[in-house]
């Protein structure tokens, strides 16, 4: 790399994408500077997203099992009120344990410099950090995203929570209004409901989890409703106000009617906004879109030596996507390889109970692309392990194109996220139906439902009239016996 710059590589952002790039570059002997504007490395995922939310969900799941004790043949167990301060301390403990892996000391040992502060471009190779100019030959922008907060009249004055505040509450809110119906909204809705809050979801669309196929999202919606989570669908929020006692009132319209929903707290879960303001992108000549950075398939910006990775892409806002994009950016910025980002088999998961996971194309996406052949569905109700664990709602759905090839998998049911891992490998490796159906799996496992679905995908060919005729001719079989 160019020797006239202070650093070979500058990485802006210490989240999943930035850490991936910085660690890889430093281990390759590249003089690397990692800059993070927060006081700690790890990004939103570690401190305000994936880690605290999944820790909270685990706590809520444990409490939900108390209410179901009789379902497992156990005596009824009373569930006392939740001390959310104790729950918060557990979340903090989990974060602290993971933080060690994302510490500045670790990256220093790898060979990277780490600095904290607000960096701003002054040209396409130089940033200003704490009043000092720092130059680099290659730059990766991985500054992440923040919760998108709409301009609803009275919302700011009434006060609200986002993912940055929801996990550090001092006490469990008696009631919680959640604006949104996506993954964060439904996960937090179920978690706080299970802990004892009265939860209302306010969703603009006609259903929850609108990105997913309706048959998948309906299973999650039914479970939330059964657990007491109220959903106001097709609702437009018109105003928010705060009563003298601190209660927030959310005014909305549905089907032309005015309604009001009240809660002790409001959680805004209406998507994300890329953290690009204040970076001085204009000074660097870096173009952006309404969603994030303007990037090509190699994750290069309008300045080919400046790359983008993670939530600043504005598209696939998942930690695993950020890590993957960090690898793509590393290949281009450091190794100078023309690697392109490929999202065809990128998995995603909603960690409610039941979970909802998707790999590849949904049925709706395949239909929109004009490639949908058919779908194969296998319910968990026929799975022995699911029955034993008392979680047999949902199904595995295989999406096939017109040539019968597997192009997507949707799973709604127990451990859907874990089950999706094998399907991500199968899709990426173009594993055929015969291998999928012929795999020998341990019994009893939830994964057998997927194998059974693959078997159903072979049934039409395997048990066709043609195959029966051939077997009859070759082996002398005499056909089916008399039917009752």
Asked if 229 and 166 sit in the same domain, the reply is yes
The mean pLDDT of 78-103, rounded to a whole number, is 95
CATH number for 448: 3.30.390.30
- Identify the domain boundary among 228, 243, 271: 271
- Give 3's pLDDT tier (boundaries 50, 70, 90): low
Mean predicted lDDT score pLDDT of the chain: 95
- Cα(269)–Cα(388) distance, integer angstroms: 35
What's residue 293's pLDDT? 98
Residues 196 and 224 in one domain: yes
What are 282-328's pLDDT values in tens digits? 999 999 999 999 999 999 999 999 999 999 999 999 999 999 999 99
12 and 127 assigned to the same domain: yes
Residue 140 has pLDDT above 80, yes or no: yes
Task: Tell me, yes or no, whether 328 and 311 share the same domain.
Answer: yes
Question: Per-residue pLDDT tens for 32-73?
Answer: 999 999 999 999 999 999 999 999 999 999 999 999 999 999
Q: Which residues are CB-neighbours of 32 under 8 A, at least 6 positions away? A: 7, 8, 9, 10, 11, 22, 25, 26, 111, 112, 113
Determine, yes or no, domain membership for 341: no
Looking at the structure, tell me whether residues 213 and 282 fall in a common domain. Answer: no
Within a domain: 419: yes
Numbers of helices and strands, H then E, in the chain: 16, 21
Cα 394 to Cα 362: distance, rounded to the nearest angstrom: 16
Mean pLDDT score, 81-86: 97
Question: 232 and 357, same structural domain?
Answer: no
pLDDT 10s digits, 395-435: 999 999 999 999 999 999 999 999 999 999 999 999 998 89
Domain extent at residue 410: 348-465
Q: Are residues 141 and 282 in the same domain?
A: yes
Identify whether residues 257 and 290 lie together within a single domain. no
- Domain-located, residue 73: no
The reply to whether 202 and 325 lie within a common domain is no
Sign of CA dihedral 307, 311, 312, 316: positive
pLDDT at 421 (0 to 100)? 96
DSSP category for residue 161? B
Would you state the pLDDT for residue 166? Answer: 97
Residues 403 and 326 in one domain: no
CATH number of the domain to which 191 belongs = 3.50.50.60
Per the structure, how many domains does the chain have?
Answer: 3
CB 47 within 8 A of CB 72: no
Contact in structure between 293 and 274 (CB atoms under 8 Å): yes
- pTM equals 0.94
> Looking at the domain assignment, is residue 84 inside a domain?
no
Alpha-carbon dihedral sign for residues 161, 167, 171, 176: positive
61 found inside a domain: no
- Does residue 200 form part of some domain? yes
Residues 277 and 261 grouped into a single domain: no
Q: In whole angstroms, what is the distance from residue 197 CA to residue 63 CA? A: 13
Is 215 part of any domain?
yes
Residue 1, pLDDT above cutoff 70? no
Q: What is the pLDDT of residue 475?
A: 86
Using 50, 70 and 90 to split pLDDT, how confident is the model at 468? Answer: confident
Q: With 50 as the cut, is the pLDDT of residue 281 above it?
A: yes
Distance between CA 353 and CA 389 in Å, rounded? Answer: 13
Q: Is residue 49 part of a domain?
A: no
Contacts 24+ apart (CB under 8 A), 441-446: 443/384, 444/383, 444/384, 444/385, 444/388, 445/385, 446/380, 446/383, 446/385, 446/386, 446/413, 446/414, 446/415, 446/419
Taking only the tens place, the pLDDT of each residue in 146-158 is: 999 999 999 999 9
pLDDT above 60 for 2: no
What average pLDDT does the segment 248-277 reach?
Answer: 97
Tokens 């000391």 belong to: 105
Q: Do 290 and 352 fall within a single domain? A: no
């Amino acid at each position: 790399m160019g020797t006239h710059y202070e650093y070979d590589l500058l990485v802006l952002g210490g989240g999943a994408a930035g850490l991936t790039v910085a660690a890889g570059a430093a281990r390759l002997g590249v003089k690397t500077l990692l800059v993070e504007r927060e006081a700690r490395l790890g990004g939103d995922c570690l401190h305000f997203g994936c880690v605290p939310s999944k820790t909270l969900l685990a706590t809520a799941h444990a409490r939900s099992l108390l209410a179901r004790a009789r379902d497992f043949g156990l005596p009824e167990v009373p569930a006392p009120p939740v001390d959310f301060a104790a729950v918060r301390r557990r979340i903090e403990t989990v974060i602290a344990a993971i933080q060690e892996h994302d510490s500045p000391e670790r990256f220093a040992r790898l060979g990277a410099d780490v600095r904290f502060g607000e960096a701003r471009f002054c040209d396409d190779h130089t940033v200003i950090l704490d009043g000092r100019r720092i130059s680099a030959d290659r730059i990766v922008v991985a500054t992440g995203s923040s919760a998108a907060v709409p301009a609803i009249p009275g919302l700011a004055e009434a006060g609200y929570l986002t993912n940055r505040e929801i996990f550090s509450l001092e006490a469990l809110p008696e009631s919680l209004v959640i604006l949104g119906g996506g993954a964060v909204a439904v996960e937090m809705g179920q978690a706080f409901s299970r802990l004892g809050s009265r939860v209302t979801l306010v969703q603009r669309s006609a259903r929850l989890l609108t990105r997913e196929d309706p048959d998948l999202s309906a299973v999650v919606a039914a479970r939330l409703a059964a657990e007491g989570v109220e959903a106001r669908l097709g609702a437009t929020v018109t105003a928010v106000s705060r009563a003298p006692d601190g209660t927030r009132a959310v005014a909305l319209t549905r089907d032309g009617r005015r309604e009001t929903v009240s809660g002790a707290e409001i959680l805004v879960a209406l998507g994300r906004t890329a953290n690009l303001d204040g970076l001085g992108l204009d000074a660097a000549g870096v173009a952006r879109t309404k969603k994030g950075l303007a990037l090509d398939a190699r994750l290069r910006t309008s300045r080919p030596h400046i790359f983008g990775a993670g939530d600043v892409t504005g598209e696939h806002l998942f930690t695993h996507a950020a890590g993957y994009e960090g690898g793509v950016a590393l290949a281009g910025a450091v190794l100078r390889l023309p690697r392109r980002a490929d999202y065809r088999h990128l998995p995603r998961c909603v960690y409610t109970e039941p979970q909802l996971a998707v790999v590849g194309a949904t049925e709706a996406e395949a239909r929109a692309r004009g490639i949908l052949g058919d779908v194969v569905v296998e319910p968990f109700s026929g799975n022995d392990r699911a029955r034993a664990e008392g979680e047999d709602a949902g199904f595995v759905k295989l999406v096939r194109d017109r040539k019968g090839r597997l192009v997507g998998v949707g799973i709604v049911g127990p451990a859907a996220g874990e089950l999706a891992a094998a399907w991500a490998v199968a899709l990426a490796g173009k594993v055929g139906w015969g291998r999928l159906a012929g795999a020998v799996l341990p019994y009893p496992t939830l994964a057998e439902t997927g194998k059974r679905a693959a078997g159903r995908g072979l049934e039409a060919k395997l048990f066709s009239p043609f195959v029966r005729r051939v077997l009859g001719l070759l082996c002398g079989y005499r056909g089916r016996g008399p039917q009752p």
